[in-house]
Chains A and B, each alone.
Chain A
């Protein structure tokens, strides 16, 4: 099992560009999440999904959109990147409300 994978691992964007981060899990988990980690801030929840076709806002959703068209995939989109979105992004999945399995992270720099 690959667990949770994230694509890409690194990306540099210019302000105003758009991109999509892909998260995939092969554990048949219902719940999936996107977090960002900034220095001194811990992990903050951006958006999450409790099942295929559902999404919900987390603590810091502004500037991001998500889609969960397939159970195993959760996409995070940045429509117009800003320097404040420079961060490390982690995807996670879980069975209902139990422990999460995290991907390796995507390091995004917006210049």
Chain B
């Protein structure tokens, strides 16, 4: 049974607009969440993380929101750029990864 779910396999947005990627998890005891970005034929690279003691964390154009009661987190990218086109994985600690969302930013 999947502990972390990314229900949207793909997302397309126009350059300059906001990209919102979503992730749901099953266990309310999970307390540290991460987002990774992956380009084809490369390993994932760390993007941003959030601890359960926070509900928001920002790093430049990237913001992660955590809703503990809903067991849901989201990644906002503003403004989206063509170089952001990649697969995005959410993860819980180092143990569970979602299936990924492929983001395409259209110039």
Contacts and interface: CB of A to CB of B under 8 A. Distances in A.
A99 B34 CA distance: 7
Contacts of B89: 42-43
Interface string A33-47: 101000011111100
Contacts of A86: none
Given A33-B94, A45-B95, A105-B41, A100 B46 contact: yes
B46 A99 contact: yes
Contacts of B36: 100, 102
Interface of B: 4, 6, 32, 34, 36, 41-46, 49, 89, 91, 93-100
Given A97-B94, A102-B45, A42 B32 contact: no
Contact of B46 (A45, A101, A103, A105): A101
A41, A48, A100, A104 pick with most chain B CB within 10 angstroms? A100
A94 B94 contact: yes
B49 to A, nearest CB: 6
A104 B34 CA distance: 19
A50 B93 CA distance: 13
B43 A90 contact: yes
Given A102-B44, A103-B43, A104-B43, A97 B97 contact: no
A42 B99 CA distance: 4
Contacts of B49: 98-99
A59 B2 CA distance: 11
Nearest to A6: B43
Contacts of B91: 43
B34 A102 contact: no
A58 interface: yes
